[in-house]
Structure 1
Amino acid sequence: MSELWLLTAILVALVAGLVSGRANPASLFFFAGLASYLLGLVSLDTALAGFTNNGLITLVLLVLAATALEKTSLLGKLSQAISKGSLTLTLAKLGVSTAVLSSFTNNTAVVASLIGVVRRNQAHAPTKLLLPLNYAAILGGTLTLIGTSTNLIVNSFVENAGLKPLGFFEFTSVGIIVVISGLLLLIPLAHLLPDRRDETDDEALPYLLEAHIAKNSKLVGKSVQDNRLRALKKLYLVELERSGIRICPVPPQLVLQADDVLRFSGAVESVELLHQFDGLNWFGKQQAKGQNLIEAVLAPSSSLVGTSLKDSRFREEFDAAVMAIRRGHQPLKGGLGDIELQPGDVLLLTPGDSFTKKPRLADDFAAISGLDLSVRLDNKRGHWVLFGFALTIIASIAGIIPLAKGLVVLLLSFLAIGAVTVSELKRRFPLELVVIVGSALGLANLMISTGLADVMAQGLLEVFDGYGVFAAFVGVYLMTVIVTEIITNNAAAALSFPVAYALAMSYGVDPRPFIMAVVFGASASFISPYGYQTNLMVFNAGNYQFSDFVRLGLPLSLVYSAAVIIAVPYFFPF
């Protein structure tokens, strides 16, 4: 009984940490697993066993193989063909092609590759395309075993429980219904999304910029109005700091002094306006040498979250200076270097020569635009990457070679032809994902072995007492969906699987439909922009508001849930 209470305390602390967002999920799962070992709940061999799970190894190999896939021209050519035609036709082509692509490749790579072209298209507003693009990628991930990391993670739990592994196309029957019903809803609803192209040209992107008045500046001794600092297009003077005292709003007749700090809010292109003022040293000016600016979106799991630019020593760590910060449509206040960074913040950077070589880029940023971090492969190598990947998948489906073994051979061939390098693979190695999944496998096993999963299942049984096994199935699905929206999809799968398995055992029925409830529930991250990485990517790229996600995501979540709840019991009887 003491083991059960100890594990309960560990899991409560884990969930509280995930919900608060004060630490990244990998750290939380690692310390939860470590606490389980130190408190004697699990042996060292058992604790480490989760990190050698076949499903986890396959997932890591797929992520590494995607490094070469992202360098091919396939996604670029496809995106150019998609953007032609009416909005309805464009949405249909975009939805179908994205869903198919994300069923076989990493959906984050698909979304990242298509964002740029969608934003640059002249025919349709990006706000009407980017959110449907994101949702189509999520829907497509439910079609196959490798469509999303969640499917492979759940398969790891299935294998650990001694059950028959999930088949490559075992999800497809339900997935097709989900994709079709989802796209039929998305296409008409996307027409209702706002066209923010005009707003983007005005003040829709409130970057916070900071500038310091030098002692020899010609601005000194003249008022704000005389210096024409209130007549800047797309740039608004929101605050002046003098000797530690902040003045907001700034009076037009206020005379400027040396060492005054000026803070502006405005669009990204307005940065150039600061060049016209002699003796105005804006944040990051010393590193600006005519290079292209970069927009970098802060990832939810970034080590920078919760810190300021000063405390993180950003320039030394990344060889880049932060010129401005944007947080959605929320105006920021205070010193640029003192702002506590949050997931989804967009940093406007002036990169140094070694910026692209920094190993933490993939871990700390969900997306980087303005600079192509990977050079496209030539046609010969690009064709081999696509052919080799397709051949590996087909060989696995046909039972000729296990997927993990095929991916090892594929990666070796990529290294041999120079499609990827060892340093690239090191940089892209998904260490945080490995920590989360490996630790989660151990915690899931503990929940089952200590009886905690049975206790939680009995609690759900009491809730659904008299309503039958179908109601319990619906309860597991809804529990997983809610946890996914609150924390992350992978964490939701890890916490829901043991309860779903124990509940199926309590009813004495086939656990497959309950497993599918976890699989599809963990992928249903539609309402919150913070629930999934691609949500966060399009949230900033499309200048969306939280209400846009609710407007499109809530109806989609309802239709998706109805399709899953009806289709899963039909294809996977209890």
Structure 2
Amino acid sequence: MSEVWQLAIILIALVGGLVAGLASPAALFFFALLTTYLFGLVDISSALVGFTNNGLITLILLVLAAIALEKTSLLARLSQMIGNSSLPMTLAKLGVSTALLSSFTNNTAVVASLIGVVRRNQTHAPAKLLLPLNYAAILGGTLTLIGTSTNLIVNSFVENANLKPLGFFEFTLVGIVLVVSGIVLLMLIANTLPDRRVDTAEESLPYLLEAHVADTSALVGKSVVDNRLRALKKLYLVELERSGIRICPVPPQLVLQAGDVLRFSGAVESVELLHQFDGLEWFGKQQAKGQNLVEAVLSPASKLVGTSLKDARFREEYDAAVMAIRRGHLPLKGGLGDIELQPGDVLLITPGDSFSTNPRLTTDFAAISGLDLSVRLDSKRSNLVLFGFAITILASIANILPLAKGLVLLLLGLLAIGAVNMTEIKRRFPIELVVIVGSALGLANLMLETGLADVMAQGMLGVLNGYGYFAAFVGIYFVTLILTELITNNAAAALSFPVAYAVAVNYGLDPRPFIMAVVFGASASFISPYSYQTNLMVFNAGNYKFSDFVRLGLPMSVLYSAVVISVVPIVFPFK
């Protein structure tokens, strides 16, 4: 079997594994690279050369330096954009601010820092703001080279192909058109999103909490209503289990017995209401020692998916106890420890001492909030961080200092002033991203060296059957967009770049517009809640349904695509 077909089979298996979610993207990419080595397609030194790529090192340094940026007051100031203005005006202010901030810091940090503020807003329904906020952050990532990890990853491929590196503001003209048109569209159609602020307990307060009545509890021998279990603010008794028999709804006059299991539906802040009942042992109580609670969103690739807390031995494996579970707007029933977990489930956790250093957190959870909520830099160090970051970026733009070298100096400075520490760096080190990018660079090189990329390019040109290079450009963009919705943005960029480059070479054209088709196509994560990390975060926080993403994401994707297809060839001519 020729090298081309061997590599093709490996890549088909890789894509199949990514779509099916058989393992984390990092594990699948590394296994694919390892397989090419075992098949003799590449030697060990060539296989690992991608892990020392300058673009990858820059990306790692940027992620680590951003740890300090997240602890400044900059993100908190965005909350001032949510006031008493009309919905369109609020969306305009929030959208512009979010887009500008996400153009040079982590999208996940921007969205995570604002979710709580948006949900507490009394003027507008969170469902009308959270999804637009997420889309504004995605659009903002297209403004600069460091706006999203995808841009830096593509730049790694560009440098690896011995092409001129992408400039810091090379994306900006197209990005500005995308941001402006996207925010205008959000102002016009965001009001069509349903208001999820409903009155029914099961939908508006969807966390499932569980407690059992101890033998010595003062609740024993008294009815539900006499124990005032019907009069709890934002906490509703939805089910009682006795001797394996579930009673739902619970009659007000039912007398409680020792060993009864009570299940409540309630808001996060309602957990502390359970403290007032003597002898009521709630799930996770023994783990709770006054620490901040943590909300963790289950990743689609998590090993916890399809299993229960009991079967997964969650407490032992993570040094943490799950106090409650939330699944979007859907009410949950049954034992807390027996519920079969699904992607996107939000777990309310009381963490132990070693929880935050568990290496499985990055693979099992798409987002974790609460770990650093109490950490904020004082104004002096906050200003030093912002000044240092600005100087580093300006020095890179002015070609005074390479970005990677500037970020090394910045990171050393952040360590010196205590803005970050080695524990944070070890915990936040983007090992998954390193494995994906390093492996993807090796696979991309093989696609070009073996001729597979050229075969795929010829196949695309054959399908287009003489429609010209513009049709090929459009084809590359839509292939990348579809892959982004199916297998995440970074993986889509890794697989699309070699084909885009080969198509440009076949036509004898400047590769830039085809590279930009990959860059912008890989950022078009609008329709599926599972295609991008922040999509999954707001999916749960806003009680959205899949149809809500289609309602807002499909028009956004159409507009975004129209802008890219029409503006990129103007800014980046083919010849």
Q: Same fold (TM over 0.5)?
A: yes
Cα distance change, pair 4–307 in 1 and its aligned pair in 2 (3 A): farther
Deviation at 1:431, TM superposition (A): 0.3
Q: Give the corresponding residue for 2:398.
A: 398
Matched, 1:52 2:57: no
Cα distance change, pair 323–470 in 1 and its aligned pair in 2 (3 A): same
Q: For residue 435 of structure 1, what is the amino acid of its counterpart?
A: V
Q: Give the corresponding residue for 2:109.
A: 109
Q: Give the corresponding residue for 2:310.
A: 310
* Structure 1 unpaired stretches of 5+: none
What is the aligned residue count? 574
Cα displacement string for residues 454-474 of structure 1 (whole angstroms, at most 9, x for unaligned residues): 222222112110321111111
Deviation at 1:301, TM superposition (A): 5.1
The secondary structure found in structure 2 opposite 1:331 is coil
Question: 2:82·2:121 contact (CA, 8 Å) conserved in 1?
Answer: no
Q: Give the corresponding residue for 1:77.
A: 77
Deviation at 1:171, TM superposition (A): 1.0
Question: 1:75·1:113 contact (CA, 8 Å) conserved in 2?
Answer: yes
When normalised by structure 1's length, the TM-score is 0.92
Deviation at 1:143, TM superposition (A): 0.9
Q: For residue 328 of structure 1, what is the amino acid of its counterpart?
A: G
Q: Please show how residues 401-440 of structure 1 align to structure 2 within 5 Å.
A: 401-440=401-440
Cα distance change, pair 3–234 in 1 and its aligned pair in 2 (3 A): same
Question: 1:235·1:265 contact (CA, 8 Å) conserved in 2?
Answer: yes
Q: Give the corresponding residue for 1:331.
A: 331
Distance (Å, rounded) in 1 between the aligned partners of 2:251 and 2:200: 27
* Structure 2 unpaired stretches of 5+: none
Cα distance change, pair 249–77 in 1 and its aligned pair in 2 (3 A): closer
Cα distance change, pair 233–116 in 1 and its aligned pair in 2 (3 A): closer
Question: 1:202·1:234 contact (CA, 8 Å) conserved in 2?
Answer: no
> After the TM superposition, which of the residue ranges 63-72 and 503-512 deviates more from structure 2?
503-512
> After the TM superposition, which of the residue ranges 433-442 and 109-118 deviates more from structure 2?
109-118
Matched, 1:27 2:18: no
Q: Give the corresponding residue for 1:166.
A: 166
Q: For residue 195 of structure 2, what is the amino acid of its counterpart?
A: D
Q: Please show how residues 78-227 of structure 1 align to structure 2 within 5 Å.
A: 78-83=78-83, 85-199=85-199, 203-217=203-217
Cα displacement string for residues 80-117 of structure 1 (whole angstroms, at most 9, x for unaligned residues): 25535332222111111111111112222222222232
Question: 1:71·1:374 contact (CA, 8 Å) conserved in 2?
Answer: no
Deviation at 1:201, TM superposition (A): 6.9
Q: Give the corresponding residue for 2:68.
A: 68
CA RMSD of aligned residues (A): 2.8
Cα displacement string for residues 454-499 of structure 1 (whole angstroms, at most 9, x for unaligned residues): 2222221121103211111111111111111111000111111112
Distance (Å, rounded) in 1 between the aligned partners of 2:11 and 2:200: 44
Distance (Å, rounded) in 2 between the aligned partners of 1:269 and 1:379: 30
The secondary structure found in structure 2 opposite 1:104 is coil
Distance (Å, rounded) in 2 between the aligned partners of 1:327 and 1:536: 12
Question: 1:202·1:267 contact (CA, 8 Å) conserved in 2?
Answer: no
Q: Give the corresponding residue for 1:285.
A: 285
Q: Give the corresponding residue for 1:385.
A: 385
When normalised by structure 2's length, the TM-score is 0.91
Cα displacement string for residues 510-531 of structure 1 (whole angstroms, at most 9, x for unaligned residues): 2211111110000000111111
The secondary structure found in structure 2 opposite 1:325 is strand
Q: Give the corresponding residue for 2:449.
A: 449
Deviation at 1:284, TM superposition (A): 1.1
Cα displacement string for residues 414-470 of structure 1 (whole angstroms, at most 9, x for unaligned residues): 111111111111111100000011111111111222222222222211211032111
Distance (Å, rounded) in 2 between the aligned partners of 1:533 and 1:212: 36
> After the TM superposition, which of the residue ranges 184-193 and 383-392 deviates more from structure 2?
184-193
Q: For residue 170 of structure 1, what is the amino acid of its counterpart?
A: E
Distance (Å, rounded) in 2 between the aligned partners of 1:78 and 1:221: 52
Deviation at 1:296, TM superposition (A): 2.4
Cα distance change, pair 465–346 in 1 and its aligned pair in 2 (3 A): same
Question: 2:59·2:152 contact (CA, 8 Å) conserved in 1?
Answer: yes
Cα displacement string for residues 376-423 of structure 1 (whole angstroms, at most 9, x for unaligned residues): 112221111111111111111111111101100111111111111111
Cα displacement string for residues 333-378 of structure 1 (whole angstroms, at most 9, x for unaligned residues): 4432233433321111233455556565555444444564452112
Distance (Å, rounded) in 1 between the aligned partners of 2:309 and 2:352: 16
Cα distance change, pair 151–98 in 1 and its aligned pair in 2 (3 A): same
Deviation at 1:79, TM superposition (A): 2.5
Q: For residue 350 of structure 1, what is the amino acid of its counterpart?
A: T
Cα distance change, pair 325–315 in 1 and its aligned pair in 2 (3 A): same
The secondary structure found in structure 1 opposite 2:322 is strand
Q: For residue 285 of structure 2, what is the amino acid of its counterpart?
A: K
